[in-house]
Structure formats: structure tokens, C-alpha cells
Structure 1
Amino acid sequence: MTALTRTALALVAAFSTQAQAAFLTSPDGRISVAVTAAPSGALTYAVAREGKPVILPSPLGLQLQGADLASGLTLAATSPRKLVRDSYELAAGKKRKVSYAANEQVYTVRNAQGQAMDVAFRVSNDGVAFRYRVAEPALPHKQFVSEATGFNFGQSAKAWLQPMSVAQTGWMNTNPAYEEHYQREIAVGTKAPTAAGWVFPALFQAGDTWVALTEANMDGSFHASRLEAESPNGRYKLGLPAAPEVFTNGALLASARGELVTPWRIIALGTLRTVVESTLGTDLAAPAVAFDKARLQPGHASWSWALLKDDGTVFDIQKKFVDYAADMRWDYTLVDADWDRKIGDARMRELVAYAAKKNIGILVWYNSSGAWNKTEYSPKGALITREARVREFEKLRAMGIRGVKIDFFAGDGQSMIAYYVDILNDAAKAGLLVNFHGATLPRGWSRTYPHLMTAEAVKGFEFTTFTQADQDAVVRHAAMLPFTRNLFDPMDFTPTVFGDIPKIERKTRNGFELAESVLFLSGIQHFAETPEGMATAPAYVKTFLQDLPRSWDETRFVDGYPGRHVVIARRAGQAWYVAGLNADDADRRFELDLSFMGKRSGTLIADGQGKREFSQSGIKGGKQTVSIKAHGGFVAVFK
């Protein structure tokens, strides 16, 4: 028996005096989970890393109509432990080929009425996942009411959390859309600013262990969750979507005939490097649906709306942005809202044909909404029914359109999640790439639906063009995203501007902007800069963006602290790209361990003396010192 196994047994004993208990460890033995059914009937779990508590005893259970599966429970059966292995490929993400291994055990509990529920736990070397399954034949219709699931942190822990916006607030009633700033390094137990709670991913530090909470495997049958607003003494509980977060006349909460299965609740944990490099958010998602591989092409896109707004959505300007994309050796041009009114189908076919001659694909915008908000941008209402959606997608495919950006969803209710999934399935059949905006967190959909290239679900670059306050906050915000929003799911932040933003004083240096192109992961990276702004950059910066890989084979966390600074290395083929940014108000020196580069030499592009200037120099592998200016950044390429 190893020392870690003895520690796990001691953990079970500590949590299970006069109780039914079981424990499960990770393949390397460093992470352990104790599942306990107490004499009181409470079902709890606790998580430890290397013998140190991380998640303190926390509640498990569901409330269904006609079935209390959260209290009065006894542990009826424990399955044999088994090793689960999986491997898959991501079209775009932090790594291409992914392997997953976890020990799994299923615990069957019964309530006083004899009604049964299975709780499956998986423990991998980078975290824990669990989900519920209710197949009780005595309860043919299973209507979800509430969930007892919680995450109990010691009161010395710290949290980095994004508030959930309140449904039916914001511009044209378009909230919630996961578009708030993270609160950084707050005490656990801090109450959320609104009753809507906190979004996933949620980041915590408990002692020397970092923890990221999220969920995955959303198949449309279940609603999406969040953390409740109140977490007394660091006890966080899963919260529910608000009543308006539904498709018109659709269901808010999950129900099923036969069996009810929840999404996987995910606890990635370990060192900060382990969490940043983890793929648990896609490991627990369902395998990929079929999609035409010839059309599954991640890439880079020009996009006029970021700086030109609505006035840019006209034929001549979009043609100019096609030329711009071709000059940058990019892959796509995105034509935004009201294209149907300002350009029309006939001229759009002309634009598609023009772009095709330059090997540029055209992406077009759609308004998802029916009656759930007040938006007027069009095309609107064309995707509401399956019949209309299939007809629209077939038209786009015939026109030569490569993909769709779909905006203004209503939130996280079961019927709205089903709407997302229906769109993805119909788009797959039509061979169209998808980008969700004004949307929920994707929660692993990029594995199941490889044509989901990206999703917003972030307070992205466009907000920094609306108000100076958002621009002032963007440096800290951007330094949060690789640790939170962009941790598992692609993110359409729409980065990188070197020139001016109308009526806004830009607070980032050019090196910061350039670093975002590598740090932020998106199946299609929509660059915000215009042709005129790009013309202000040196030729070597333009060359960098022309040659920038479309997807990555491997990712390594090099250095960082959430909301302060981050340095990440990504490999494409034999080439390594290293990028870093500094959100602090003072210059920072980094001692970087790049020994995995071997003896390679590379090129470093960093900030020059002025905010709008660059510098270029050589850099070698091994241990290197790199200075990053305040609100600045760098990229380095090793080929």
C-alpha cells in the first residue's frame, strides 16, 4: 500500500465515522475522492490532492418531482472500479491529439421509498468529474426540480469569478451573454453582485492547489448551470437559469422519459500549469458528429464591424476586406448584421464568387432571436424552426457561404440549449461552420461539434470600442481569460488592433495586442484591425500574422498569474510560438524556462519605446530573461 493510498483511506475514515463510504483515486494516486452516505441520509463527496483537502465534504443529490434523491439516502451498491481511456482529435484547441485516462466508479443510492440514483465519478490525473443518472422505472416521467450539488472550499481559499448577468437586462434585453468582467482574487463566500450568481468556468486557489469548475456534455436534454450568488463560508451550490432564459414557450429545466442524465460536473485541479494545460472540458464531452473534413478548416478572418460598425456592412467595403484577407494570407471574411438588407442575396453571391477567386471564404451573420429580446438586426427569425433553418442553410451552401455567425440567444434554459444543439446538428448536415455570439459558454461543444469554430461568451474587444471604462479594464480582463473563459472552450474575443479606436484612448501597447493572437484560442480568429491600421505595423509583424498557424498541436504553460500576466507556448508542427502579456502598471522581467525548445534560436517581437512601436530581436531556447513593458506583450517564434 502506497503512502498516498494510506492517506486516501485516512481521508475516508475522517469523513465517514459510522457512515457508508467509498473512495476513488486518480491513476497516479495523487488525487482522491471520498463519497460518503452519512447516517443522517446526506450524500457527500470530498476531494484531496496529495493528502491535502481541496474540496471539503460537499453535498450531492437531485430533487425530482415525486422523488427526493438528495436526502434520506443509503449507499446501495458500488460498482467495480475501472480504468476509462479515450483519445480524440480537436479541429482547434490547445492541442490536436488528446488522450484521457481516469478511474471510474458508480455509486448507487436509494431513498426511503427505494427509488434509485446512480452517481458516476471519474478521477483523472488533472481532476474529478461526476454526473447523475436516474433510470428509476417507478418514476416514468422524471422532471428536474433542483440540485443539491455543492463545492465547499476552506475559508482561506481565494476565487476569480465572473458575475452572471440578469436575464432580460442590457441592450435590447439581450442578457445573459457571459459578458462581464471577472472579479479577481476575492475571498470565497463573497456574494455575487446580482442574484443571477457566477458563471463557469469558476477559478479558485485552495492552498497550493488551483481549481477550475465547469460542466460538459450538453446534448440539449438538460439546462446549463452556474454557481449560486450566495456561498456562505465558501460553500458554493449549483444554480439554475432564470425563467426568461428559454426558447419561446419552451422548457426551463430538464425532464426525461426513461432515464435522466445530467451533464458532467468538472473539477480540474492541480498546479496552475496542470489546470491551464488540462483538457477536461472536452475530455468529458461526447464524441464528434460527422462533418465534411474538406470543409472543416480553422483559420483567420478579416472583419469590418469591429471598428467600422454598421456603416461597413456594404458591398464595396466588404470587397475591400476580402482583398485585405487575401493580402494577409488569411482564410475568411466575416460579413456582419444587416447584410441581407444592405447587400442582398444577389450581390452576396457576387461577393462570394469574387472571394473564391482569392481563396477567401465568406461567413455571414444571423440573428437567432424570436420573441426573447428586442433586437432588430437581420436576418432575423430565419433559423427559428427546423424547416426554415434547413431551408436557409441549404440556400447558404448553394451560394458558396462557408459559415454562419449567430447572435442574441436567450440564456441557459433547457429549450434554449436544445436550440443551440439543433442549430449545430443542422449546420453539420449542411457543411457550415458555426460561431455563436451573445451566447452561453460552449461547455465542450467544440469536441462534439468540430464545426463550432468559436463562440463569444466573453466581454470581447467590441466592448472596448463602446466605452472608455471597458477599454481601461481590458488589460486585466485579457490577463484573466487564458485561465478562465478560454480554458477549455474556443473564444471569439476578436483581438488585435495596432491603430486608433474611434473616440477611445487605447490602453494596450502593440505587443499586448499581438500576443493575444497566440494566447487566445479560437477556431477562426477574427482580427479586429482594418487594412489602414495593419499598414502602420512593420513588415515583420505583418509577416508574423500571415504565417500564424490556424491550429495547435501542443500547449505549454510557461508562467503567469490570473489577471496579472501570462506566458504560454504553443506548437504547430515543428514550430513553437511563445506569447506573453503584462497587465500590471509597471514593467516586469520574466525568467522563462524554455528548455523544451532545446538549442533552437528564434525571433522575438516585443514593444518598442512608444505605445504604438515594435522591436525585433533574436532569442534562444533554455532559460531566458524577457522584459515586458506595462500593458505590453511579446511573441517569439522558434522554427
Structure 2
Amino acid sequence: MTVVIRTMLALVAACTTQAHSAALTSPDGHISVSVSTAPSGALTYAIARDGKPVILPSPLGLTLQGADLTTKLSIASTSPVKPIRESYELATGKKRKITYAANEQLYTVRNAQGQSMDVAFRASNDGVAFRYLVRDASLPHKKFMAEATAFSFDKSAKAWLQPMSVAQTGWMNTNPAYEEHYQREIAVGTRAPTAAGWVFPALFRSGDTWVALTEANMDGSFHASRLEAESPNGRYKLGTPAAPEVFTGGALLAQAKGDLVTPWRVIALGSLRTIVESTLGTDLAAPAIAFDKAKIQPGHASWSWALLKDDGTVFDIQKKFVDHAADMHWDYTLVDADWDRKIGDAKMRELVAYGVKKKVGILVWYNSSGEWNKTEYSPKGAILDRQQRVKEFAKLRDMGIKGVKIDFFAGDGQSMIAYYVDILNDAAKAGLSVNFHGATLPRGWSRTYPNLMTAEAVRGFEFTTFFQADQEAVARHAAMLPFARNLFDPMDFTPVAFHDIPTIKRKTRNGFELAQSVLFLSGIQHFAETPEGMATVPAYVKGFLQELPRSWDETRFVDGYPGRHVVIARRAGQAWYVAGINADDADKPLELDLPFIKASGGTLITDGKGEREFSQATLKGGKHKISIKAHGGFVAVFK
């Protein structure tokens, strides 16, 4: 009788506790993921680092039309652990040659109706990723309705987050465009300023572990996500785009007639160095499409619009900026909005021919929009459908244009994401590079589409030329970007101004401006400074920008704290470039330990006594004691 009672009690206990699968671990064993079901049938996951909780038990699951895959679930099967190892190259990232190693496990769950869903988890040494795959043949039409996915943090954790702008607000209804300032080191659970929520990448610190959330592998079949505005008790739930964020007449949320596969939800985690050096945002993206490697040409560009605005988009000024690019040994000149009206095709062909003589390629601007905003800049409406787009891109190719900057997208709906992907594919077929502006976060597209050189998705330099308030905030904003927006994806901040900004008092020193040329990663770095402004700097500063590498082979995090200061080292060939900025209001003394640099010495360029002065010095081997001035910066070159 006693044995029977004990057996019954054991069965009751089993029914009232969670059903756990064995933990999935990273190759080095430091990161572990556990997946389980609660008595209610809710599916959850948790992540630990060295045995310490990082992501607390958090819900998983999808709701589709006619299928609730969030409750009353059971784990039907768990696959064997599968080692994943991939190698790829990037011309526009923090490293050129990348190897991704992870352990993958697939969890198949079923609801009470017998409908099934797979959840694939991967654990690598720098984080975790997961995605949903709904392949149930009893659901021939799979229409996304909602998602239970969340990320739960301990109440003591802190967050560095950028608010999502509200669709159909802002100048000419051009929001959302990922162009807000970050809220820094806020308590988890802090409500977003608007119902639109928070954008990716989202940065957190829990104990001694840093966490960066994003997503990857957007193929056009799924909408892009963000974090919801409300995060009760530190639980951040995935949110969906707002109704206006669509291509005219297109779908907002994902649906599929066959398999429904979500993007990877990416959780980079570890030390701050691990986060800054991580490549998870591209590791989880799809492999590269076929593209002629000879046409993958990262570079530097002159750009008149940054300081001269609309009045500069005329032939004579653009010719002057071609001369500026040639003088700086840069690769491109970007001709901005209304070039078709103010310059025209015939004169543009002449400008292209002039550029060929100067060894400078020409890039041109396009308006993406149809009916989703009120912008009037042109060319507008020329690339809305595939037939038009292919014809337009063929014309540009025949003219000798090297690439396009495309502006004013509507947001993150499935049909808008598909529009981005269609543009990238059609531009690749025409051999054109692409720069997205007024746009979403690229989410790993630079791996899949080698012709994607850069994207804005940032409150960049141009805002500091519009409003003094943005200029006042730019130092701390810039010191956030290597830890968040520019963490995985190229970013067209359009940095570097040494001289005057019309009607604005600049708040950063020249060393701060120069350092951005190394700190900010962009396949094509569009420099804001004009020929006149460049003429005000010493020859050694000009020489530095003339010789600056176009891409990087390796990146090392040296020092920093999000929103306050950052020092990063990047290698091109045998040369190391180290750059740092200080966003604080007081000078920052640092001792830089650079054991990975074997050169016996180097050259330091930093701020002089005045805000617009430079100084130059020689660095010896070993540790380097330097002081970065308030709102100042430095670059050091070791060859």
C-alpha cells in the first residue's frame, strides 16, 4: 500500500512541475539553454552563463489563424544536438573572414489539437538564437496573428534602448526610420515613450553579463519585429509593426501557403568585449547571393548635401565634389535628391565621364516612396514595381553609375521588407551597390546581399545640422552606436566635420570627429566635410583620411562604456588603427593595453588645446597612457 501511495504522489508531482529537456550548451560550455513546458502547457526557455541566469524563464510560441501554438503544448520530440560550422567573408563588417560555430537542437511541440511546430535553438560561444518553423501539412495556409516570444530580465538589470518612432509622424510622414536618441542605463521595465516600443539592437546588462537582442535572416517573407512598449517585471515581448508600415496594398504580417519560418531571434551575450566583437547578427543571416566579387567595392565618398543641402545638387558643385574626392583619394561622390531635375541624365553622363578621368565613381539618390508619405523629392516612383525598377537600374548601369541611395521607406511590414529584398536582388543583377536611407535596420543583409554597402537607420550627422539640441546630444549618442546600432550592421552616419556647420555651434572637438572615421562601420563611408573645411586641417590629418582603409580584417574592443566612451582597434592587412572618443564633460585618462599589436611604435593624432586644433605624437611599444579631452577623441596608427 505504501509503495502505491508513493507512486501516486510521484505522478502528481510530475504533473504539477515543468517538463524539461536537457540543456543545450555552447561549444565552450559557458552558455546553456533550457527549454521546458509548464503545467499549463506554456513553452518557455531560459539562458544561463556559467551557471548564472541571464534570460529568466520566458515564453515562446506563435498564434496563427486557426492554430494556437502558445498554450497546452507538449514537447513531442527533441532532436540530437547538431554541430553547426560555417565560414564566410564580409567586405562591410568588423571582420573579413568569419567562422561561426554553434550547437543546434530542434524541439517539436504539439498543441491539444495535435498541430505541431518546431523551435530551433542554436548556442554559440557568444550567444543564443532561435526561430520557429511551422511545417504542419494540416495548416496549408499559415497566417501569423501574434507571437508570445519574450525576453525576461532580472529586475536589477539595466537597459540601453532606442525608442521606435510612430508610423506616419515626423517630417512629411516619413517615420518610422530608426532615428531616435537612446535612453541610456534605464531600469528594465521602463515603459517606452510611445506605444511603438523599442527598436533592435537592444542592449542590456544583467550582473556581469551584457546582452544584445536583434533578429536576422529577413528574406522578405516575414515582417520585422521590435520590443513592445510595456515590459512588466522586466519581460520584453516581441511586437509587430503598425498598420501603415506597408507597401501600398501589401501585407502587414507574415503568411505562407507552405512552411512558415520566422527570422532568427538573436541574443548575443557575454562580456562587453564579447558583445562588441560578436558577429552573430550576420552569422545567422542567409549565405550570400551570387554577385560579381569585382563589383563589391567598399570605399569612401564625398557628399555635398550634408552641409550644403539642396542648393548643392547642381552640376558645377557636384563636379567640385568629384575633385574633392579625387584630392582625398576617395572612391565615390554621392549626388543627392532632385539630381534628375537639377542636373538631368545628359549632364549626369558628363559627370560620370568626368569622374572616370578622376577615378571617382558616381552614386545617385532615389525616393523609394509611393503613397506612404508626402515627400516630393525625385526621382520618385521610378522603382516601385519590378519592371520599372529593372529598367531604371539598367539605365543607371549603362550610364556608368556605381550605386544607389534609396530613401523614405514606410517601416517594417512584411510587404515593405519584401520591397527592400526585391531592390537588393534587382540592384545586384544590375551590378549596383545599395545604400538604404529613412530605412529599417538591415538585420544581417550585408552578408546575404554583398551589394548592400550601408544603411542609415540612425539619427546621424544630418540631424546635428538641423537642430542645436541634436548637436548638444551627439557626443553621447555617438558613444552609444558601436555598442548598439552599429554592432552588427553597416551604418551610414555620414561622419566628420572639422569646420563650420551653418547656424549650428558644434559641440565635439576635431579629434572626436576624426575618430568616427574608424569607429563607425560603413561599406561606403560618406564624409560630411567640404573641400573648404578640409583645407583647414593639418596635412597629417588629411593624409590620414587619404590612406584610411576601405574595409577591415579584424576588430578588437579595447575599452569603453555605452554612451560615455569607446576605444576600438581595427586591422587592415598588417596595419592597426586604434580610435577612441570621450562623450563625458571631463577629460578621460586611459591606459591602453594593446598586446595584439606587434609594431614597435605608432603615430597618435588627437586634440590640441583648442576645440578645432589637432596635435600629433609618436607612441612607443607597450602600454600607452593617453588622456582624451572632454568631447574629444584620437586615432593611432601602428604599421
Q: Taking structure 2 as the reference length, what is the TM-score of the superposition? A: 0.97
The root-mean-square deviation of aligned C-alpha atoms, in Å, is 1.2
8 Å Cα contact 2:490/2:521 also seen in 1: yes
Q: Distance in 1 between matches of 2:78 and 2:143?
A: 26
Q: CA deviation at 1:448?
A: 0.2
Residue 160 (str. 1) matches residue 166 (str. 2): no
Q: Distance in 2 between matches of 1:637 and 1:298?
A: 21
Please name the residue that 2:544 is paired with. Answer: 544
Please name the residue that 1:3 is paired with. Answer: none
User: SS of 1:626's equivalent?
Assistant: strand
Amino acid at match of 1:337: A
Please name the residue that 2:572 is paired with. Answer: 572
8 Å Cα contact 2:599/2:638 also seen in 1: no
Residue 475 (str. 1) matches residue 451 (str. 2): no
Identity of counterpart residues, as a percentage?
Answer: 83
Residue 378 (str. 1) matches residue 378 (str. 2): yes
Residue by residue over 1:528-585, the C-alpha shift from the partner in whole angstroms, topping out at 9 and shown as x without a partner, is 0000000000000000000000000000000000000000000000000000000000
User: SS of 2:383's equivalent?
Assistant: coil
Q: Distance in 1 between matches of 2:240 and 2:599?
A: 52
Residue 500 (str. 1) matches residue 514 (str. 2): no
8 Å Cα contact 1:203/1:213 also seen in 2: yes
Q: CA deviation at 1:444?
A: 0.1
How many residue pairs match? The answer is 627
8 Å Cα contact 2:336/2:364 also seen in 1: yes
Q: CA deviation at 1:40?
A: 1.3
User: Structure 1 residues 74, 336: closer, same or farther in 2, change over 3 A?
Assistant: same
Amino acid at match of 1:576: W
Q: Distance in 1 between matches of 2:539 and 2:436?
A: 33
Residue 346 (str. 1) matches residue 346 (str. 2): yes
Residue 530 (str. 1) matches residue 530 (str. 2): yes
Q: CA deviation at 1:599?
A: 4.7
Q: Distance in 2 between matches of 1:202 and 1:387?
A: 38
Amino acid at match of 1:357: K
Structure 2 gaps, min length 5: 1-12
Please name the residue that 2:68 is paired with. Answer: 68
Please name the residue that 1:10 is paired with. Answer: none
User: SS of 1:84's equivalent?
Assistant: strand
Residue by residue over 1:308-328, the C-alpha shift from the partner in whole angstroms, topping out at 9 and shown as x without a partner, is 000000000000000000000
Stretch moving more, 327-336 or 21-30:
21-30
8 Å Cα contact 1:598/1:622 also seen in 2: no
Please name the residue that 1:303 is paired with. Answer: 303
Residue by residue over 1:329-349, the C-alpha shift from the partner in whole angstroms, topping out at 9 and shown as x without a partner, is 000000000000000000000
Amino acid at match of 2:191: K
Q: CA deviation at 1:195?
A: 0.1
Q: CA deviation at 1:295?
A: 1.5
Structure 1 gaps, min length 5: 1-12
User: SS of 1:163's equivalent?
Assistant: coil
User: SS of 2:21's equivalent?
Assistant: strand
Runs of 4+ in 1 over 2 A off after TM superposition: none
Residue by residue over 1:472-509, the C-alpha shift from the partner in whole angstroms, topping out at 9 and shown as x without a partner, is 00000000000000000000000000000000000000
Please name the residue that 2:279 is paired with. Answer: 279
Q: Distance in 2 between matches of 1:452 and 1:394?
A: 18
- List aligned pairs for 1:144-543, cutoff 5 A: 144-543=144-543
Please name the residue that 1:26 is paired with. Answer: 26
8 Å Cα contact 1:79/1:105 also seen in 2: yes
Amino acid at match of 2:117: M
Residue 55 (str. 1) matches residue 61 (str. 2): no
Amino acid at match of 1:100: Y
8 Å Cα contact 2:216/2:285 also seen in 1: yes
Residue by residue over 1:157-204, the C-alpha shift from the partner in whole angstroms, topping out at 9 and shown as x without a partner, is 000000000000000000000000000000000000000000000000
Q: CA deviation at 1:621?
A: 3.5
User: SS of 2:23's equivalent?
Assistant: strand
Q: Distance in 2 between matches of 1:23 and 1:145?
A: 30
Q: Distance in 1 between matches of 2:51 and 2:18?
A: 22
Q: Taking structure 1 as the reference length, what is the TM-score of the superposition? A: 0.97
User: SS of 1:549's equivalent?
Assistant: coil
Q: Distance in 1 between matches of 2:524 and 2:453?
A: 6
Q: CA deviation at 1:39?
A: 2.0
User: SS of 2:22's equivalent?
Assistant: strand
Amino acid at match of 1:209: T
8 Å Cα contact 2:168/2:244 also seen in 1: yes
8 Å Cα contact 1:596/1:621 also seen in 2: no
User: SS of 2:306's equivalent?
Assistant: helix
Q: CA deviation at 1:624?
A: 1.3
8 Å Cα contact 1:599/1:622 also seen in 2: no
Residue by residue over 1:369-418, the C-alpha shift from the partner in whole angstroms, topping out at 9 and shown as x without a partner, is 00000000000000000000000000000000000000000000000000
Q: CA deviation at 1:23?
A: 1.3
Please name the residue that 1:117 is paired with. Answer: 117
Amino acid at match of 2:241: P
Q: Distance in 2 between matches of 1:18 and 1:399?
A: 64
Residue by residue over 1:215-269, the C-alpha shift from the partner in whole angstroms, topping out at 9 and shown as x without a partner, is 0000000000000000001000000000000000000000001100000000000
Q: Distance in 1 between matches of 2:546 and 2:71?
A: 59
8 Å Cα contact 1:22/1:36 also seen in 2: no
Stretch moving more, 562-571 or 33-42:
33-42
8 Å Cα contact 1:23/1:34 also seen in 2: yes
8 Å Cα contact 1:594/1:621 also seen in 2: no
User: SS of 2:515's equivalent?
Assistant: helix
User: SS of 2:181's equivalent?
Assistant: coil
Q: Distance in 1 between matches of 2:599 and 2:84?
A: 38
8 Å Cα contact 2:20/2:34 also seen in 1: no
Q: CA deviation at 1:290?
A: 1.2
Amino acid at match of 1:212: A
Please name the residue that 1:591 is paired with. Answer: 591
8 Å Cα contact 1:595/1:621 also seen in 2: no
Q: CA deviation at 1:20?
A: 3.6
Q: CA deviation at 1:91?
A: 1.3
Residue by residue over 1:88-128, the C-alpha shift from the partner in whole angstroms, topping out at 9 and shown as x without a partner, is 00011100000000000000000000000000000000000
User: Structure 1 residues 484, 18: closer, same or farther in 2, change over 3 A?
Assistant: closer
Please name the residue that 1:108 is paired with. Answer: 108
Please name the residue that 1:626 is paired with. Answer: 626
8 Å Cα contact 2:18/2:36 also seen in 1: no
User: SS of 1:454's equivalent?
Assistant: strand
Residue 37 (str. 1) matches residue 37 (str. 2): yes
8 Å Cα contact 2:17/2:39 also seen in 1: no
